Structure 1
């Protein structure tokens, strides 16, 4: 791996850097921006329109999270990973030992699963009062360990708009949602059928229902209000699957708008409950996300709705990873500095060879992504894969 990959930028930081003392506000982000070197705006609250700044290669950044100038070199800012609810999750000691192993191997951020199959692993009155099963407060253990070890901690809502794994609403949460009429379904011979091939073997909540959107906004706000978090994350299961009459009877551009406004409602609820909490989204690649999930996530970046995206570029070869990344980058218009490359270590099928993973990290650096995140943490905790040494800005 090239030595420059993990070069630590040692240059000083000056808020007044750039040709202008401020730049025009292009969307509602509550203030003037600062002209700074392109690539040095930590999050997506930026506009790369060159007319806003005088200096060549500058961007208008509305975020307070400006990074130090890189000079000729670029460096990552995040080494993340996802912790599932299956392992290193069930007890305080188990969580802490897992986090310690991640820290020892250079991980800087953990996306910790708290929402799956109608169950909540954190304290949310909204979730519990609407039928979700409270399993245990694993998130409190995760936050405590993260703060002790100096890791960033994001609450990960894995299931998103999925209510239940299975073909019928037979857990307490989805059964409650039948009564509320919050689920997607088709009428077949007078009977409600809750799954379609496009939706997979899942029961889904209805994103077109304002009450459903409010439920997720309120549940997310509960979590950021109740815990000392750096951020929250939804992923590709925050979706509107095709194959249901409610979905198929509206145009695709309207579906995109519904999902974008849905995420905006979640963002605003989070910002109101805990200002400064970051919003992350981990989608599928753009083409799949648009055609299967009715999500146009590049707009989430361009419109400042999320602070970062961590697309799941889960491929087993570096060549396929590069090809997939190259297909998406033209759509984000220079905002790749707010992207983490989602890299697959293992999953269905064989593990990704470590040499291919190392090359994927290099590619992510070469494309000037913010960093990478690994699916999933077990491989790193158990030593199946050991990431290269990481130094960040």
Structure 2
């Protein structure tokens, strides 16, 4: 039968099509042969089983454009998850029917990932299947690690994730490193921090118990959540404990090491669960599938976040105004630098009334600064040849105008009338100005470095250090402390971070001789950071503090010994000030740790330092806040957040450095700043 031209063209095309299909079929096995590493080349990701093809409607999408990075902070999570789902972007338990952008953290090409990474065949019906599949596309999850891989490479039909298997640290760190940026770990990082490549100690794993970080150990939900918060660099939450208590049924049972991380994940709308999202379940073992879900929820990549349904998310509570404690230290340091509040009785009266309106209950006036006393001192007259210098430098007309005025006595009278405690502050400790006349008259009082140098540049100033081991310099400070307790009605005395010694000092002849005397003639090590040499000097300073304690107990039983140090271990490593030992030995009545930080992250991290957290268990421990410097104002919003963080973590209170910066050099209008302070301290509070 003769075919029509149309029929001839049809059958010719059909025949050519069959030939083409046969030819391609012959080449595909060659293209899919394993490479030298045993892994198939790009087309092995195309060999999907019928089950995977049904589940992943478009698995071979050729173009996956990387999504832009999403910034840190709550703004990254500002759009409610329900709105993503209303727009049709969520697909929990399903395939993700549209091509999803690759995470910006993935190192491999998104096009290659879409074609080479096998999808697990054991997650059908799993509550976070959409999340796991998307992580699998990106190569972010661990597959086939609990059974031997097939000899011809990871077949998609045989790929297994084991979502219900316990998650170990090894699996979790691998998933996190594949999902978030990884850097070289900071010096001194713990085993776990090193495994996660955390570049800064300011992370939520810093206080995680090191012995818990065994790679093969199955971990708890609280541990995994904390690791995710650290790796994702989620921001700290000022009112972390309150947020947990108000948002979760078991929020008050989150272990201490997991509080910051759990609160951060919760605040980021990333705390997800298959059963009851309102429970942290911190002590429950966590599965691999649950870890994957948390990774998706915490990712900065929107296409990962929307794979978890809104119903699986814990909802962070909206917190009411923070309650004010009825007992709280509310202190302010009064200085004679960049402030005139101490320079006349009228200035003092006005300042104290201003602080009274703010419900401040404790004043720390400087009495020992720049090598001189700010009150008339017979001890200073005897040792230094000068009884008082109120101005921070030489200003004869000013001093003459002061006459026989006693600033400290005036302040005590005015403050006590306003129900405020007065604790004189020996600000300079053993530090001295570079141009101190005693360098000429008493050179043996000063210490030095190994090379003989003595100058310590600080900003635009140069300072030196009196020898804390020399009996006469020790006698000078002890004499002034005894004098104030004997002659003034004060609640106690305070020393600060200058009651120590720079670690590179101590090579003066007196100290070297003392060390030789106690070490069989051996000289101090050349290495200033030698552990025994550091401990010897620190112990001598601790002995001096025991003498201060003895003077107080003899002169004014019940008097307060307050210390305002730097955070430990910085205080020890840089200034040989071992204040945790002072506290442990019962020397201290009050501690105010100076945490002068201009961001909430580092501030809260410092709050959780072990020494600081431990001290508050037995000694009233408060936090020093930097209200500003002349060339460095502190925003009122940050100060308010820092106060909230201090209260939330159960510290005894705060003290502001310093009076003038409460009001001056601020970025906000004065009225706004005063209003915020009055709101923060709207009620009176007793000293702890």
TM-score where L is the length of structure 2 = 0.43
Which SS does the other structure have where 1:130 is aligned?
A: helix
In the other structure, the counterpart of 2:419 is 150
CA deviation string 1:176-203 (max 9, x = no partner): 432xx11113586xxx642257998311
Shift of 1:380: 3.1
CA deviation string 1:348-390 (max 9, x = no partner): 6532221111111111112211110011111335655542124
In the other structure, the counterpart of 1:130 is 383
Q: Is the 8 A contact 1:81 1:375 kept in 2?
A: yes
In the other structure, the counterpart of 1:195 is 455
Shift of 1:239: 1.4
| Counterparts of 1:289 and 1:373, CA distance in 2 | 19
In the other structure, the counterpart of 1:268 is 550
In the other structure, the counterpart of 2:332 is 81
| Counterparts of 1:339 and 1:330, CA distance in 2 | 8
| Counterparts of 1:114 and 1:330, CA distance in 2 | 27
| Counterparts of 1:269 and 1:233, CA distance in 2 | 13
Return closer, same or farther for 1:91/1:213 CA change in 2, 3 Å cut-off: same
1:239 to 467, 480, 500: 500
| Counterparts of 1:175 and 1:353, CA distance in 2 | 44
Residue 540 (structure 2) pairs with residue 277 (structure 1): no
In the other structure, the counterpart of 1:162 is 431
CA deviation string 1:134-183 (max 9, x = no partner): 1253211211111221111110111110122x2xxx334444432xx111
RMSD: 2.9
Which SS does the other structure have where 1:373 is aligned?
A: strand
Q: Is the 8 A contact 1:132 1:173 kept in 2?
A: no
In the other structure, the counterpart of 1:22 is none
| Counterparts of 2:450 and 2:632, CA distance in 1 | 40
1:177 to 439, 442, 454: 442
Which SS does the other structure have where 2:608 is aligned?
A: helix
In the other structure, the counterpart of 1:139 is 408
Q: Is the 8 A contact 1:233 1:282 kept in 2?
A: yes
Return closer, same or farther for 1:288/1:197 CA change in 2, 3 Å cut-off: farther
Shift of 1:331: 6.1
| Counterparts of 2:458 and 2:574, CA distance in 1 | 7
Return closer, same or farther for 1:320/1:146 CA change in 2, 3 Å cut-off: same
Give the structure with the larger strand fraction: 1
In the other structure, the counterpart of 2:684 is 391
In the other structure, the counterpart of 2:601 is 319
* Greater shift in the superposed pair: 137-146 or 124-133: 124-133
Shift of 1:343: 0.7
Q: Is the 8 A contact 1:123 1:226 kept in 2?
A: no
| 1:298-317 alignment runs, 5 A limit | 298-317=580-599
2:574 to 292, 311, 314: 292
Shift of 1:258: 1.0
| Counterparts of 2:626 and 2:430, CA distance in 1 | 23
| Counterparts of 1:297 and 1:354, CA distance in 2 | 30
| Counterparts of 2:597 and 2:619, CA distance in 1 | 21
Give the number of aligned pairs.
317
Q: Is the 8 A contact 1:280 1:307 kept in 2?
A: yes
| Counterparts of 1:272 and 1:286, CA distance in 2 | 30
CA deviation string 1:269-289 (max 9, x = no partner): 122122222111111111210
- Name structure 1 gaps, 5 residues minimum: 6-72
* Greater shift in the superposed pair: 346-355 or 306-315: 346-355
* Greater shift in the superposed pair: 253-262 or 377-386: 377-386
Q: Is the 8 A contact 1:198 1:292 kept in 2?
A: no
| Counterparts of 1:336 and 1:325, CA distance in 2 | 16
Q: Is the 8 A contact 1:105 1:380 kept in 2?
A: no
2:466 to 195, 201, 205: 205
| Counterparts of 1:344 and 1:281, CA distance in 2 | 17
Return closer, same or farther for 1:100/1:198 CA change in 2, 3 Å cut-off: closer
Which SS does the other structure have where 1:275 is aligned?
A: coil
Which SS does the other structure have where 1:304 is aligned?
A: coil
In the other structure, the counterpart of 2:48 is none
2:656 to 357, 374, 379: 374
Return closer, same or farther for 1:255/1:331 CA change in 2, 3 Å cut-off: farther
Give the structure, 1 or 2, with the largest relative contact order (CA under 8 Å, sep 6 or more): 1
- Name structure 2 gaps, 5 residues minimum: 1-237, 243-323, 391-405, 512-523, 526-531, 665-669
| Counterparts of 1:334 and 1:256, CA distance in 2 | 22
CA deviation string 1:22-78 (max 9, x = no partner): xxxxxxxxxxxxxxxxxxxxxxxxxxxxxxxxxxxxxxxxxxxxxxxxxxx965421
CA deviation string 1:317-353 (max 9, x = no partner): 2222111111244662553751111011102653222
Shift of 1:211: 2.6
| Counterparts of 1:333 and 1:278, CA distance in 2 | 16
Q: Is the 8 A contact 2:561 2:588 kept in 1?
A: yes
Q: Is the 8 A contact 1:157 1:233 kept in 2?
A: yes
In the other structure, the counterpart of 2:364 is 111
Shift of 1:310: 0.5
Q: Is the 8 A contact 2:425 2:495 kept in 1?
A: yes
Q: Is the 8 A contact 1:302 1:332 kept in 2?
A: no
Return closer, same or farther for 1:309/1:176 CA change in 2, 3 Å cut-off: farther
